[in-house]
Every structure is written in structure tokens, then in C-alpha cells.
Amino acid sequence: LSRLWQWVIMERIDKMLTPLFTVIVPTFDHGDLIQFSLRSILRQTLQDFEIFVIGDGITAEGRECVNAFAQKDSRIHLFEFPKDSRHGEIYRHEVLTGSAHGQLVCYVGDDDLLLPDHLQCMAECLHEHDFAHPLAIFINTENQLGVAEGHLGLDASRRRLLAAEPFNFISL
């Protein structure tokens, strides 16, 4: 084969081996609650992803839970770090820049659930746009739906982010 065709073939193989998404799931002290988050990711209609669990001082219970999932699915990887003084942001950056293979990144909290078509919807949106931010909703103990504080689609959240006082919460 000519060098050009060798290059074309290698590029095609690389794209086939590269997942579309790297899904990062930071965790600290929610123990085996992370199993619900992982299940919601694994049940996506679009299955072209790798999952990176970022253990920011992860508990033994959380570690056991993630390792049990990783033994069943090779797309799941646990990265363990000592507890950071903040929320492990530095670890997320380190793992994403050093280990991620996905073309797109999706952030899921260890106590969050994704609807089954979340990654498919995000892929379609990100095909046309550089950034996407889904509406984060919650169900409280009275079974009422609400919109999570910090959503960028809400004017009050945008004003709060632009205000001078520190604000360290954005639902992703």
C-alpha cells in the first residue's frame, strides 16, 4: 500500500477505536449511591463512550461499587486521588488531558441520573454548537419537580455568576 493509503487506513481505525464521549463522574463520599449514576450512563441509547470515575478521596464503599462495575464493563475506569481541598477540579483536568480518548466530554455527578437518550441528544446538539448545557431537574421528598439552582438558562443564575461575590455551583 502507498503511504497515503496507509495513513487513510490508520486514521479510519483510530476513529473506530476512539469513543465519541468521555463521561466523567467525580465522586467523594456518596458510597454506593454512584451505582445509580453508572447504571443510567450504561443504559444510554448511544453506547459510544468511556466512563472515567474520578475518586476525590473516594470511600471504600464507593471504590468497591465502581470496581464491581468496571469488572463487568471495560469502558469504566476508576482514577483515585487523595481528597482535594475543593471539589477535585484539578484531578478532573489531569485525567481528561492525560487519559481521555473521547471526542466530546460529558459531566455526570455521582448522584445524578441521565435520561436514556441524553448522550444522543448531546451529540446532536454538539454537532452544531461548541457548548451544550442541559436543564438539570430534581425531584424532592414530596415528589415535586424543580429546576436545579445554577442552570445557565435561567437569568437569575447568569446574574449570580456575573456578580462580584464568590459562587461555586453550576449544575452540569
SS3 115: coil
C-alpha cell read off for 143: 415528589
Cα angle, residue 55 at apex, residues 101 and 85 outer, rounded to 5°:
115
Contact 81, 91 (CB under 8 A): yes
pLDDT in tens, the chain (172 residues): 677 667 656 666 666 678 999 999 999 888 899 999 999 999 999 999 999 999 999 999 999 999 999 999 999 999 999 988 777 778 888 999 999 999 999 999 898 899 999 999 999 999 888 888 787 777 778 888 877 766 666 777 677 767 766 555 544 4
Helices 34-42, 60-72: axis angle to 10 degrees equals 20
The pTM (predicted TM-score) of the whole model is 0.78
Rounded Cα distance between 82 and 2, Å, is: 50
Question: Other CB atoms closer than 10 Å to residue 99's CB: what's the count?
Answer: 12
- The residue length of the chain stands at 172
Contact 50, 75 (CB under 8 A): yes
